Structure 1
Amino acid sequence: MRLLNRHVVIALAAATGMGAALLILSPILPALKEFYGVSNALLGMLVTALVLTHALVQIPGGVVVDRLGARWSLTLALTLAFVGSALPYLNQSYPLVLAARVVVGLGTGLGFVASLKYVTAHSAAQRAGLTQGFFGGLINVGCIIPFLISPLLLSIDWRLVFLFSALLFLLPLLALLIWGQEPAGGRAETGLSLGRVLKQGPVWALGLCHCLYFGVTMTVATWIASYLVSLSPEGMLLAAAGLWGSLATGFSALGRFVGGFTLRLVAPQRLILGSVFMLALAFALLVASSQVGWSVFLFVLVYLSSSLTFASVFWLAYTLAPRELAGTSIGLVNSIASLGALLFPVAFGLILDQTASFAWGFVFLMILSLGGLAPAGFLYRRANREAQAGPPAGASGAPFIQAP
């Protein structure tokens, strides 16, 4: 099976569209503020409406994917995302745009689970981790696209941003309708899929590890500009410091791409455990850091360590559960991870308010990372026990200890 068959290309295109949809409004927020004349809080709701809906739909979306099948679930997801993206181009009233963002969030939340299951099932077993790494990396690449295309669209008509986002969903949707194919053994015919997956301890361990990775990435991306401004004795310009914050997406994309290749050489459990250790080390060093250059290096280490494991986490989420329940497993892992993205940046800000010191915030992240050694170590020890006992092959045909 080729690495980039038509099914893989469809799922990767969907991933790019989902990434773009997450931040499609960020570059045009000033234009929206002028158009609507509303507060910044109401503007922020246009962004968070999608993010929160995307997070909340992960678990029920996984159940839908397992029951309906990956192909038709992805078709439904892309349809929702396309309609939600296109409607604001036709009518720009604030309530409609807000409702449309919720619809897009439903589409991206369901689409993440459906497309990840679809791309994995249509990849050769030895290349599944690699395609998952590309999938995760292209979500990050999609997040960059709005910032690249918005200057051109704004020079013509800011409403074209909505049409552009809709186009990114329409193309894979049409391809899926024409060439899509349901993977073999991809539907759960009987039983309660969520209940069966909830009993899988390793799936919870994966969710906690990914919660750490996703949470620290969002926390550092949120606060890096403010930290560098406070650290620079020359008073670094906020715009210059903010550049490093924008590079977070690029480093995360690089880490996910590299992680897909690394997974072919290193067992996923080892990569997960090693990445957690590197995060704890990086934050421990940041506590005592007082130089901009050294701090930037450590932030790059954080970005890479937290993103290298994307393919490892979701490869294991796919293989730990029976094939027909893989969507529910993926949804549960990503739902747990969303808690870190929502809570860690807020907690860091509260610590900063109370202590007026970024060092204590890094202590907090170091403690979280040390805590992450528990679920990561559980996965590693379980893999070693199964390797020594010679377990039967999992749903993918690959033993738990081996890289795909």
Structure 2
Amino acid sequence: MPAVRTTRVRFLMLFLVFVGTVINYVDRANLSVAAPLLKHEFGLGPVEIGVLFSAYAWTYVIANIPGGWVVDRFGSRVMYALAVLIWSGFTVAQGFAGRFATIFGLRLGVGVAEAPTFPVNNRVVSIWFTQRERGTATSVYLVGQYIGMAAFTPMLFWIAHSFGWRAIFWATGVIGIIWSGVWYLLYRDPEACSWVSEAELAYIREGGALVGSHRVASGAQKQKFPWRKLATVFSNRQIIAICMGKFASLSSLYFFLTWFPSYLISERHMTVLKAGGVTAVPFVAASIGVVAGGLLSDWLLRRGASVGAARKTPIITGLLLVPTMTLSLLTDSNTVVIAIMSFAFFAQGVASASWSLIGDIAPKSMIGITGGAVNFAGNLSGIVTPIAIGFILRETGSFGWALGLISLFAVLGALAYTFLLGEVKRIEIDDEPLDASARAVRSPALDAHSREDARSTQD
């Protein structure tokens, strides 16, 4: 008689990850709301603003790989709570900055502290959700990137208009400090959670959830940083393709997170309050796109498509639709522009389903560090895109070439997924002998499922 699933604890853990992602992205993007005001106070040009926008990514990309490693070694509960607490402290401090260099330095600090967050997100979904649920679960936490901005951008513009740009950082930072405590109190890994029933634990394990992966990682691989294995991961054809695609997808995301409010105010001549209202619309569209991409991926998987086809279809389709943003150059209507930008951002949301693909490919004991490696490569766009747009604005005074650059990146990303990624299968590099505790967490059902999964991923 099949076991009855008496608990749904995995959905609580997913909700915690979702809220954390909302806070994460609000604290990344709050500078974009403050920028139109603080640039006048500090006398900054477009290149300087672009450098400020990119400062976060400078340290974020460097810290992503060690960030993923500490997640694999110390687990999600402690590392996420500590990360949120530290980056929120840096966020509050930005409200007291008195010059360009201070804000730049504090943004560097935010980037370091936020590095473990997406490796944590990816790991939580990988250990709590079955393979057939993973695409939808990934889309739920990814939608937090956009829901946060959709819900809070109008409020942040109102705060800036009413109390000044400094209050933006104080408000968002305090919320994060509170959330760090909530996460630490509530989050648990499956094997350490007293609320999860044996039935739910068996269900997720037999469905391909990597239950016990933290204990595997903390056994034989805990003692040193796995440089050789990391090199193997980075040289893998699948990872190279995902890194290129992630860079392309995040380039358009970083445009909306950094320069988009300035685009509405300077290029479309909107007031601060009006820009604050309409900025939310593309983020709502992107939220719908993220969910649609995840649902489409899991639907294709249930319909019998291979893992590769199910994961790549929404990603490639979304990337190929991102260049529709250049159609905004053909109209003077702000309403039409918002509609075009919303559709392009919807497409970017659909393309963000690559995190579920990472969950299908990453070595079992290196989920965090593999996610960190991909996030490292992808978030290089957070350095390149804002600064490149700043130079374009300085030289041309218009966003036209900037939209063209983002569109070019999107097409190149689609080509990487189409022609370079190839067969989707889990990377097997765990060649050291497992210790007793690691062997104990290996489930025969899970191993059998993994072998079956590897056979079924022909593209």
Is residue 218 of structure 1 aligned with residue 254 of structure 2? yes
Is residue 278 of structure 1 aligned with residue 321 of structure 2? yes
* In structure 2, C-alpha distance between the alignment counterparts of 1:27 and 1:7, rounded to whole Å: 30
Is residue 111 of structure 1 aligned with residue 117 of structure 2? yes
User: How far did 1:208 drift?
Assistant: 1.1
Q: How does 1:242-253 map to 2 (within 5 A)?
A: 243-253=277-287
CA contact (8 A) 1:116 1:135 kept: no
* In structure 2, C-alpha distance between the alignment counterparts of 1:357 and 1:328, rounded to whole Å: 39
User: How far did 1:248 drift?
Assistant: 3.5
SS in 2 for 1:275: helix
Offset from partner CA, 1:25-62 (integer Å, 9 cap, x none):
776789999xxx97779999997665543332112212
Partner residue in 1 for 2:85 = 82
Is residue 127 of structure 1 aligned with residue 133 of structure 2? yes
Is residue 17 of structure 1 aligned with residue 23 of structure 2? yes
Residues 160 and 396 of structure 1: CA distance in aligned 2, closer, same or farther (over 3 Å): farther
Q: Which amino acid aligns with 2:381?
A: G
Partner residue in 2 for 1:332 = 373
Is residue 299 of structure 1 aligned with residue 305 of structure 2? no
Is residue 185 of structure 1 aligned with residue 185 of structure 2? no
Q: Which amino acid aligns with 2:384?
A: L
Q: Which amino acid aligns with 1:9?
A: F
CA contact (8 A) 2:26 2:172 kept: no
Structure with bigger RCO (C-alpha 8 Å, 6+ apart) = 2
Decide which of 288, 297, 311 is 1:263's aligned counterpart: 297
Q: How does 1:197-216 map to 2 (within 5 A)?
A: 197-216=233-252
Q: Which amino acid aligns with 1:322?
A: P
Q: TM-score, normalised by structure 1?
A: 0.76
Is residue 342 of structure 1 aligned with residue 383 of structure 2? yes
Partner residue in 2 for 1:400 = 457
Is residue 318 of structure 1 aligned with residue 359 of structure 2? yes
Q: Which amino acid aligns with 1:183?
A: V
SS in 2 for 1:400: coil
Deviates more, 1:161-170 or 1:96-105: 96-105
SS in 2 for 1:265: helix
Structure 1: 5+ residue stretches without partners = 385-391
Q: Give the share of equivalent positions with the same residue, in percent.
A: 17
Is residue 362 of structure 1 aligned with residue 365 of structure 2? no
* In structure 1, C-alpha distance between the alignment counterparts of 2:287 and 2:78, rounded to whole Å: 25
Q: Which amino acid aligns with 2:130?
A: A
CA contact (8 A) 1:75 1:177 kept: no
Provide the aligned length of Structure 1 versus Structure 2.
Answer: 385
RMSD: 4.3
SS in 2 for 1:57: helix
Partner residue in 1 for 2:274 = 240
User: How far did 1:314 drift?
Assistant: 0.9
User: How far did 1:215 drift?
Assistant: 0.5
User: How far did 1:322 drift?
Assistant: 1.6
Q: TM-score, normalised by structure 2?
A: 0.68
* In structure 2, C-alpha distance between the alignment counterparts of 1:25 and 1:128, rounded to whole Å: 32
Is residue 60 of structure 1 aligned with residue 101 of structure 2? no
Deviates more, 1:203-212 or 1:174-183: 174-183
Q: Which amino acid aligns with 2:453?
A: G
CA contact (8 A) 1:61 1:328 kept: yes
